[in-house]
Amino acid sequence: MKRCSWCGNDPLYVKYHDEEWGVPFSDDQKMFEFLLLETFQAGLSWITILRKRENFRNAFADFDVDAVANFTAKDIERLQNDPGIIRNRLKIQSAISNAQLIVRMRDEEGIGLSDYFWKWVNHTPIVNSPASLKEVPATSNLSDAISKDLKKRGFKFVGSTVIYAHLQATGIINDHVVDCDFRNSLS
């Protein structure tokens, strides 16, 4: 079985690669989960986040955006004392404020988080053809534009690199290398 080299042999990474990474979906809750996890990943390895994913799920109300948007100072303190997640106060606060902005976007503009991201590509995944991991960029014009728009809306920890990784993870951009056995199953 050929896979993208970034997942190596770690069983958790392999499972994530084979079952989730790059698989398109349109569920708002799952989109929030991926965005929240990507914002916590900034500056860390993705495997660190994957290993803490269930802890994040428990800590952040099963990634229910409405519940997270209503977190209080008491929740921030609870999260800062939770050894199962990344206890960065700024990232915790941004997760809550980003959730509030997502709720506002949904209520005021009538657009869910999934539609927000998918509209940038006319609801059609971008399929790249990297021959190797070296050819996969960290950012693109698209991730630059989305990052800029999200920052203008007040979102935090949504730099272009974070957004590009989010687009890859959620299947909006297919960056599986050309010899990866999972690449064509996503088309």
Bin 22: left if φ > 0, else alpha if -120 < ψ < 50, else beta: left
Angle (CA) 90-142-99 rounded to 5° is 35
Could you list the residues known to form a binding site, using ranges.
4, 17, 176, 180
| Choice among 13, 21, 33, 38 that is catalytic | 38
Clarify whether 54 is annotated catalytic.
Answer: no
- Which DSSP category does 111 fall into? -
Q: Give whole-number Cα distances, 182 to 11, 21, 125, in Å.
A: 16, 10, 15
Clarify whether 16 is annotated catalytic.
Answer: yes
Could you list the residues known to form a binding site for Zn(2+), using ranges.
4, 17, 176, 180
- Single out the residue of 14, 85, 87, 21 nearest to residue 52, CA to CA: 85
With a CB cutoff of 8 Å and minimum separation 6, the contacts of 21 are 4, 7, 168, 169
The catalytic residue positions are: 16, 38, 46
